[in-house]
Structures are given as C-alpha cells and as structure tokens.
Amino acid sequence: VETPDKIGREAILNVHVTKNELPLSDDVDLSEIATATTGFTG
C-alpha cells in the first residue's frame, strides 16, 4: 500500500474532524496541513 497523496491525507484529516474526534478552530486549513505532511501515514 502506497502512502496517501495530498488529497488522501486531506480526506483522512477530514474524517477525524467530521467525527468531532479532533475539535479545531475555524482558522485551521486542512489543505495546508495535508500539504505539509507529505509522506505521512495513519
């Protein structure tokens, strides 16, 4: 299994935010976080 690309990482982050597992401020940009986490998994 390959590491997720930017779109995949953003989708993973969005799942956790949507489930309210990770409450975030309104100014948090998941796209920016996904861009900064190239090569990260799970």
26/8 Cα distance (integer angstroms):
21
User: Residue 1 domain-assigned?
Assistant: no
Say what the pLDDT of residue 30 is.
94
Q: Rounded to an integer, what distance in angstroms lies between the CA atom of residue 31 and that of residue 6?
A: 8
pLDDT for residue 24 = 84
Structural domain of 25? 6-36
Q: Read off the pLDDT of residues 1-42 as tens digits, 9 standing for 90 and up.
A: 899 999 999 999 888 888 776 778 999 999 999 999 999 886
Q: Does residue 14 lie within any of the structural domains?
A: yes
Residue 41 lies in a domain: no
Please return the burial class of 12, using the count of CB atoms within 10 Å of its CB with bins 0-12, 13-18 and 19+.
middle
Output phi, psi for 25, to 5 deg.
Answer: -70, 155
DSSP state of 2: P
What integer pLDDT is reported at residue 41 of this predicted model?
81
The answer to whether the Cα torsion of 39, 35, 22, 4 is positive or negative is negative
In a domain, 12, yes or no: yes
**Residue 32 has what pLDDT?**
97
How many structural domains compose the chain?
1
